[in-house]
Amino acid sequence: MKRSRLAFSILAVGLGLPAVGFAAPFQCPSRGGDIVFGQEANVNSLDQMTSTTISTRNIAMNMYESLMTRSEDNQPILELAESMEESGDGLTYTFRLRQGITFHNGKPMTSADVAASFNRYNRIGIQRSTLDNVAGWDTPDPRTFVIRMKQVQPTFIEALSSFSVPIVVIPSEHENDERQQLRPVGTGPFRLLEFVPGSHARLGRFDGYQPNTAFEQRTGFGGYRVACVDTVTFRIVTEASARVAGLETGELQAVEDVPTRSLDTLRRNSAITILPLQNWWIQIALPNTSIPPTNNLAFRRAVQAALGMEDIMDAATDGNYRLNVGFQFPGRPSYTDAGKETYNINDQARARALLRESGYRNEPIVLLTNRDYPPMYNAALVMQQQLRAVGINANLRVVDWPTSVQMSQRVNSDEWHFFHTGWGTQPALGALATMQFLVSPNAAYRPRDDRDDPEVLALWNAMNNERTAEARQAAFANMQRMVLERAYALPFGSLTKVQAVRSNVQGFVPFRIPRFSNVWVQR
Amino acid sequence: MVGVAFRRLLSAIPVLLIVSLITFGLMRLIPGDPAAAIAGVSATPAQIEQLRRDLGLDQPLHLQLLDYYRGLARGDLGRSLLLGKGVFAATMERLPVTIGLSLFALAFTLLIGIASGIVAALRQNSWVDQAAMMFAMIGISVPNFFLGLLMIILFAVHLGWLPSGGYVPFGEDPVGWLRSMTMPAFSLALLQAGLLARITRSSMLEVLRQDYIRTAKAKGLPHRKVVLKHALSNALIPIVTVVGIIVSLLLSGAVVTEALFSIPGMGQLLTQAVLSRDYPMVQGGLLLVTTFLVMVNITVDTLYAVLDPRVRYE
């Protein structure tokens, strides 16, 4: 079997990122102590295979691990595998598992456990379409796991390493656990001590944890991870003021989603460190192209020309934002500003000219939004005013989040023209995960009868099937440009989520989940 | 008295049936996709569709209703879509927390409401009466959410006497439970205490003007005995009626209080279930809460029979 270039590049990233030079692996400056994290959203289950929610991931990703995951800059890296080889024909991936890995129950991990995890994921995993192109998997020996593909899929490793709904490795005896009933036993640096839904989940350091010695530091969801503290408690504190109060009193050592109104007070408190997490999500509005007048390109371009993103983002985020062209976060390898000429135009004269061209006759335009996520509501409010300023009869339709999603997904719906939402996890995962939102069955611009724009679809296929990463990136840039030029999506900018810790909590770096490995409490 | 309780129990059956039908119908009438709510904001439409199929939400309505009543007949309230566990088990985890909070709040309500009502009635039109009624008015006017926030700032942030939130089970640490529940219970109780104080005052004033009280005083009975034995026991009848209603109000008021103080009770569970369109959880949870409230009201009705012999004779 010949190791492919793709495999080398993954390993190079995996081994090379933190390992360059002769730096020693991370060591806890101090051990012990307890951290209580104030989490904003309820967590209903810790079954990482059957949950897409961020609140589950926050906790579960400190407990579970996968064959592969993502690094700090979103590259696929090895986690429970020490090597991965892709066959010359691209139809087989062979993973060699790391030695000495044990589950939280003390059982050594083997390829049989990996196979059982894939079996369960294939049965009930929410993202089990990841395995649609997989013919099967084999376990030739306890340290080797082989995935056989039906067809060549150059993006398979990107999908396999996704942290959206990862294929976490569980003991084989848990293979038949039902949906949301997975017994919480993983291989991660923390093990579950107690879970009281609606109240808290308490994790304890797993003393049998084997750090991944291919790295020397934590990176992304993986790397060289060490649990320095004794326990981490994720306490559900849904009320923002209560989270801030808990941080001030020291009952909470770290919190997420600090409201802007509290920032000044907290900044004056030397016992507290504010940690902005930039690029949390992309604020976006999506047109319904199955009905008039949003099925008219000139009209959609008129809307695009009317929008001023600073005002929209300022209102949506209380000032915590960055302007951002397109569908990837700035600074990420896949970022491109292709189509930037369509962004933040804020030109009323041009908008009016395009409106005339479109033949718009003052029909009511419905902006579908919700109050469950205030940034979405606030963005819609400002958009409404900006559209009215150029003569578009824009009206808000405010419902709750589940209703707005339901309405937005109806084929050929005539109930709305623009749907307000936010894309967070997918842009963080990369271009492929994000652009799936623009093709069926996910096509968020709701084409008539769900029939994709064939040119957009062609670029999507190129993003998936081109053999080289460069060619796939070029296809992505073209797709982004086309989507923006055809105004199939109106991205406003990136929202910053503010986190905060007590100043004696060291090593905490904001990321897509609150990571508590390599975090210690200064004595 | 047994007859009173039995009659009330029988009349509870249609109440529960109607509640179960209404909650089933209302939940289906509310727009919104349970799968979208459960999947969260980061899910793709394909993931939501997958979840919808996994949860069996594509079944026709009449089949869902039939399944629901078949389950009820077997004593099975169904399985929460959100939690993936039995509704009865999920409710039994949370209901005791809310009942504990409500009973603690009820203790505050009774203590503050009855005591201040009696004192105000005995010192009618004095400054004590004015102060007690002003306190009652404040209690009625201030939203418990706002009061809770003020208490957190004062007692947790500034004074550091009590925790700002969280829950400690009574069985694990009674003192910790008391500390964690004092602010929530007080903020929840104040509104009801204000109401109760006003009702107690007017009820006591009415009784204190009765002839038999004047007779008792004329006979030379000690003031304390006249007030506590003769006046209060008769004034209690309307108060007991209100207490039944107060328990219902405390249970429903717990929704906001639980969210503010991060208490994993029934209020939070049901709120989340409604927002997520977790049909089985809302249906089953409300049915169990209704059963509890019906039992409270049966107890109150039975207490009438203890307090007022006329009820027994009827």
Q: Which residue among B54, B272, B277 places its CB closest to the CB of A179?
A: B54
Could you tell me how many CB contacts below 8 A there are between chain A and chain B?
156
**Structural tokens at position A28:** 């806890």
Q: Which residues pair with A192 in a beta bridge?
A: A203
Tell me the one-letter amino acid at B278: D
Q: How far away is chain B from the Cα of A7, in angstroms, using its nearest Cα?
A: 28
Q: How far away is chain A from the Cα of B82, in angstroms, using its nearest Cα?
A: 6
In A378-469 the beta strands, taken as DSSP E runs, fall at 394-399, 418-423
Q: What angle do CA B258, B81, B18 make, to 5 degrees?
A: 75
Nearest CA in chain B to A442: B45
Q: What is the DSSP string of B198-264?
A: HHHHHHHHHHHTSHHHHHHHHTT--HHHIIIIIIHHHHHHHHHHHHHHHHHHHHHHHHHHHHHHT--
Q: Which residue among B47, B165, B167 places its CB closest to the CB of A127?
A: B47
- The mean pLDDT of B242-259, rounded to a whole number, is 85
- Tell me the C-alpha distance between B31 and A459, whole Å: 36
**pLDDT at residue A8, rounded to an integer:** 37
Q: Do B264 and A236 touch (CB under 8 A)?
A: yes
Furthest-apart CA pair in chain A: how many Å?
71
Would you call B168 helix, strand, or coil by DSSP? coil
The answer to whether residues A303 and A393 touch, using CB atoms and an 8 Å cutoff, is no
- Tell me the C-alpha distance between B254 and B266, whole Å: 8
Q: Which residue among B46, B265, B268 places its CB closest to the CB of A442?
A: B46
Residues of B in contact with A245 (CB under 8 A): 152-153, 156-157, 164-165
**pLDDT at residue A11, rounded to an integer:** 45
Tell me the one-letter amino acid at A163: F
Mutation pick from A237, A261, A398, A497 vs chain B, by most beta carbons of B within 10 Å, is A237
Cβ neighbors of A500 (< 8 A, separation 6 or more) are A247, A254, A255, A258, A266, A272, A273, A274, A275
Helix (H) or strand (E) holding A299: helix A297-306
Q: Do A124 and B84 touch (CB under 8 A)?
A: no
Q: Do B46 and A436 touch (CB under 8 A)?
A: yes
Q: Is the pLDDT of residue B5 over 80?
A: no
pTM: 0.83
Q: Is the pLDDT of residue B39 over 80?
A: no
- Tell me the C-alpha distance between B144 and B229, whole Å: 34
Q: How far away is chain B from the Cα of A42, in angstroms, using its nearest Cα?
A: 8
Nearest CA in chain A to B90: A197
Q: Which residue among A129, A406, A407 places its CB closest to the CB of B46?
A: A129
Residues of A in contact with B33 (CB under 8 A): 402-403, 405-406, 409
**Structural tokens at position A157:** 């490793």
- The mean pLDDT of B156-173, rounded to a whole number, is 89
Average pLDDT of chain B is 86
Handedness of CA A173, A174, A176, A177 (dihedral sign): positive
- The mean pLDDT of B113-117, rounded to a whole number, is 91
Q: Which residue among B163, B264, B276 places its CB closest to the CB of A251?
A: B163
Listed range (A201-210, B146-155, B268-277) with the worst mean pLDDT: B268-277
Nearest CA in chain A to B272: A42
Listed range (A213-227, B36-50, B279-293) with the worst mean pLDDT: B36-50
Residues of A in contact with B43 (CB under 8 A): 52, 126
The answer to whether residues B140 and B194 touch, using CB atoms and an 8 Å cutoff, is yes
Low-confidence residues of chain A: pLDDT under 50: 1-21
- Tell me the C-alpha distance between B10 and A523, whole Å: 64
Q: Do A42 and B39 touch (CB under 8 A)?
A: no
Q: How far away is chain B from the Cα of A404, in angstroms, using its nearest Cα?
A: 7
Q: Do A409 and B48 touch (CB under 8 A)?
A: yes
Residues of B in contact with A409 (CB under 8 A): 33, 36, 45, 48
Mutation pick from B28, B29, B42, B153 vs chain A, by most beta carbons of A within 10 Å, is B42
Strand duo A200-205 + A190-196: pairing: antiparallel
Tell me the one-letter amino acid at A377: Y
Q: How far away is chain A from the Cα of B240, in angstroms, using its nearest Cα?
A: 34
- Tell me the C-alpha distance between A327 and B208, whole Å: 76
Token pair 């080889």 in the structure block, residue: A85
- Tell me the C-alpha distance between A292 and B276, whole Å: 32
The answer to whether residues A38 and A199 touch, using CB atoms and an 8 Å cutoff, is no
Q: Do A409 and B37 touch (CB under 8 A)?
A: no
Nearest to B114 by CA among B201, B5, B224: B201
Q: Is B10 exposed, middle or buried (0-12, 13-18, 19+ CB in 10 A)?
A: exposed
- The mean pLDDT of B124-151, rounded to a whole number, is 88
- Tell me the C-alpha distance between A272 and A267, whole Å: 7
The ipTM estimated for the assembled molecules is 0.71
Q: What is the pLDDT of residues A167-214, one digit of tens each?
A: 999 999 999 998 888 999 999 999 999 998 888 999 999 999 999 999
Nearest CA in chain B to A443: B45
Q: Which residue among A50, A53, A242 places its CB closest to the CB of B262?
A: A242
- Tell me the C-alpha distance between B2 and B25, whole Å: 35
Listed range (A238-242, B38-42, B220-224) with the worst mean pLDDT: B38-42
- Tell me the C-alpha distance between B16 and B5, whole Å: 17
- Tell me the C-alpha distance between B284 and B45, whole Å: 29
Q: Do B50 and A442 touch (CB under 8 A)?
A: no
Q: How far away is chain A from the Cα of B171, in angstroms, using its nearest Cα?
A: 15
The answer to whether residues B230 and B213 touch, using CB atoms and an 8 Å cutoff, is yes
Cis, bond preceding A441 (omega within 30 deg of 0):
yes
Own/partner pairs for A18-27, CB < 8 Å, 24+ apart? A18/A215, A18/A216, A18/A217, A18/A219, A18/A223, A18/A224, A19/A214, A19/A215, A19/A216, A23/A216, A24/A216, A25/A211, A25/A213, A25/A215, A25/A216, A25/A217, A25/A224, A26/A216, A26/A217, A26/A218, A26/A224, A26/A226, A26/A518, A27/A226
Residue B55's alpha-carbon distances to A122, A286, B48, B253, in angstroms, are: 16, 28, 10, 31
Q: How far away is chain A from the Cα of B178, in angstroms, using its nearest Cα?
A: 17
Residues of A in contact with B275 (CB under 8 A): 372, 400, 402
Q: How far away is chain A from the Cα of B46, in angstroms, using its nearest Cα?
A: 6
Residues of A in contact with B152 (CB under 8 A): 241-242, 245
**Structural tokens at position B129:** 């009466």
Q: Do A426 and B42 touch (CB under 8 A)?
A: yes
Q: Do A181 and B85 touch (CB under 8 A)?
A: yes
Nearest CA in chain A to B267: A198
Cβ neighbors of A14 (< 8 A, separation 6 or more) are A71, A77, A78, A214, A215
- Residue B32 backbone zone (phi > 0: left; psi -120 to 50: alpha; other: beta): left
Would you call A94 helix, strand, or coil by DSSP? strand
Strand duo A365-370 + A418-423: pairing: parallel
Q: Is the pLDDT of residue B283 over 60?
A: yes
Tell me how crowded residue A344 is: count the other CB atoms within 10 A of its CB.
19
Mutation pick from B29, B50, B151 vs chain A, by most beta carbons of A within 10 Å, is B50
Cβ neighbors of A7 (< 8 A, separation 6 or more) are A83, A84, A85, A86
Strand duo A365-370 + A231-236: pairing: unpaired
Cβ neighbors of A43 (< 8 A, separation 6 or more) are A53, A55, A56, A58, A59, A197, A201, A234, A236
Q: How far away is chain A from the Cα of B162, in angstroms, using its nearest Cα?
A: 10
Residues of A in contact with B170 (CB under 8 A): none
- Tell me the C-alpha distance between A487 and A122, whole Å: 36
Q: Which residue among A52, A164, A246 places its CB closest to the CB of B165?
A: A246
Q: Do A251 and B40 touch (CB under 8 A)?
A: no
Query: From the centroid of its chain, how far is CA B52?
Result: 34
Task: Give the rounded percent of residues in chain B with a pLDDT score beyond 90.
Answer: 21
Token pair 């419902």 in the structure block, residue: A399
